[in-house]
Structure 1
């Protein structure tokens, strides 16, 4: 099954001939970049959008992974923070983020002679509330993983099959996803959340989120790690660190980590 999906993915890129990849450094877009480079060579270009919602550490990882793959990698700056439709954090915030991204990438692709902008949206993403997917589609972007029905699990399996050492890299969506809808997003808040998550990763916890509710930080960990976390981590030291970052209160979500948890308010409001 994995080899079949890989063959289909390879065939798709052979048909594209040239492709510009919207490359975040996540496991999905990195697999897309890998296959694009293997098939197209110098006719593939990976571009990473740099903004306050991307931590420097994430950008460094993306650059290192691109170097390992061999694909040409460039950076562009996006200005979503200048758009009040984005910073006011409405329920369709992601639409304005992806609009800014693809409104920046598409003219660049045309100017460079790339007929397609390709992203890393996978089949599972289509089952969640992702208004950004609509923005990308409206601007003609293609999503090879989703088109071929390749799920997140299959992305990881194919990546491992190809020997990509980051195949099990935790998902790391835009830092703006850490804020409940309606809470204004600022550069300072993005940096505060990002630094808090980096601190927890340095303690050995990789699959996590730090949600920001005003001056309160809510830590989400996989439910099976919560008890160990409470017993193992120096909690007063952790609280002190979070306060240094600018939080007044620090809490632990006893339900545990779940991707897209802040979207549950959308179903409750229906």
Structure 2
């Protein structure tokens, strides 16, 4: 097993810890390691809930937390009330994380007697220019034990497998707002369309995907290995019908495959992942 002593050392001395938790592999590994280091009764998983969180992701997060044995506290976030978030510039994630950490500070820390808050940034994330949410973490003094211990994405996934976490092989699942091109407004209606379309495609057997929202056009990103079956009948027709039912008028398939940071990286610089 990969050495996790660096994470444990960074949690030493904390009486009660809150982990900003999404159910993704990074925050799940952090939650599991914190529960192991401090005891599950001294750790709280904090899940931000808003229209940008798909219902399936919310349910999956609760499942992972139950597996780890840590209680979940849901916090309603209102990033959509912030004009800067709705404007959807490359710093949108900053405003989202700032809202989350503000709500945690106002509603959770005192109520649950927490001494610190941590989140699941890994060492690869820390090197990427398209992660403005990290600025919010710094401003709110949120800990990042995985990154500070030098654990990159590959190491985090290996730990998740060693711990037999149910999300160990889960594809990355950024929030629904990441599917909307920068400078196009983020609205609950658009987020709802994206959620419906992606849920329908998962029911058709696609595990990793993005539905990018370009007004009347849905641009579907799938791994290269899924493209041949996606364009073959009858699945092609089923995909089209499912996406049109979500409220789009046109359906396209992007031959470039799944692209991390597709909207943000061209505006802020190359990836370092």
Corresponding residue for residue 252 of structure 1: 253
Secondary structure, in 3 states, of the residue corresponding to 1:109? coil
**Aligned pair 1:201/2:166, yes or no?**
no
Q: Distance in 1 between matches of 2:212 and 2:30?
A: 29
Provide Cα deviations, 1:2-58, integer angstroms capped at 9, x if missing partner. 432x22222322333321110111111111111111222211111101100011111
Equivalence map 1:143-158=2 (5 Å)? 143-158=144-159
Corresponding residue for residue 87 of structure 2: 88
Corresponding residue for residue 9 of structure 2: 11
Query: For this pair of structures, how many residues does the alignment match?
Result: 267
The structure carrying a bigger helix percent of its residues is 1
Q: Distance in 2 between matches of 1:257 and 1:232?
A: 22
CA drift at 1:120: 0.7
Q: Distance in 2 between matches of 1:214 and 1:99?
A: 28
**Aligned pair 1:127/2:127, yes or no?**
yes
**Aligned pair 1:172/2:170, yes or no?**
no
- Asked if 2 retains the 8 angstrom alpha-carbon contact of 1:13 and 1:35, the reply is no
CA drift at 1:231: 2.0
Q: Distance in 2 between matches of 1:82 and 1:204?
A: 35
Q: Distance in 1 between matches of 2:60 and 2:226?
A: 26
Instruction: Calculate the TM-score normalised by the size of structure 1.
Output: 0.93
Instruction: Calculate the TM-score normalised by the size of structure 2.
Output: 0.92
Equivalence map 1:219-238=2 (5 Å)? 219-231=220-232, 234-238=235-239
Provide Cα deviations, 1:152-172, integer angstroms capped at 9, x if missing partner. 111110010112132001111
CA drift at 1:174: 0.9
Corresponding residue for residue 118 of structure 1: 118
Q: Distance in 1 between matches of 2:17 and 2:268?
A: 37
Secondary structure, in 3 states, of the residue corresponding to 2:33? helix
CA drift at 1:233: 5.0
Q: Distance in 1 between matches of 2:167 and 2:175?
A: 19
- Asked if 2 retains the 8 angstrom alpha-carbon contact of 1:27 and 1:167, the reply is yes
- Asked if 2 retains the 8 angstrom alpha-carbon contact of 1:218 and 1:253, the reply is yes
Corresponding residue for residue 218 of structure 2: 217
Q: Distance in 2 between matches of 1:118 and 1:232?
A: 47
CA drift at 1:205: 1.2
Report the RMSD for the aligned CA atoms in angstroms. 1.7
Provide Cα deviations, 1:122-170, integer angstroms capped at 9, x if missing partner. 1111222111110111110011111111111111100101121320011
- Asked if 1 retains the 8 angstrom alpha-carbon contact of 2:2 and 2:158, the reply is no
Unmatched 5+ residue regions in structure 2?
none
- Asked if 1 retains the 8 angstrom alpha-carbon contact of 2:229 and 2:235, the reply is no
Query: After TM superposition, where is structure 1 displaced by more than 3 Å over at least 4 residues in a row?
Result: none
Q: Does 226-235 or 117-126 show the bigger shift?
A: 226-235
- Asked if 1 retains the 8 angstrom alpha-carbon contact of 2:46 and 2:73, the reply is yes
- Asked if 1 retains the 8 angstrom alpha-carbon contact of 2:7 and 2:149, the reply is yes
Change in CA separation of 1:82 and 1:233 when aligned onto 2, cut-off 3 Å = farther
- Asked if 1 retains the 8 angstrom alpha-carbon contact of 2:89 and 2:182, the reply is yes
Unmatched 5+ residue regions in structure 1?
none
Corresponding residue for residue 73 of structure 1: 72
Q: Which has the higher contact order (CA 8 A, sep 6+)?
A: 2
Corresponding residue for residue 53 of structure 1: 52
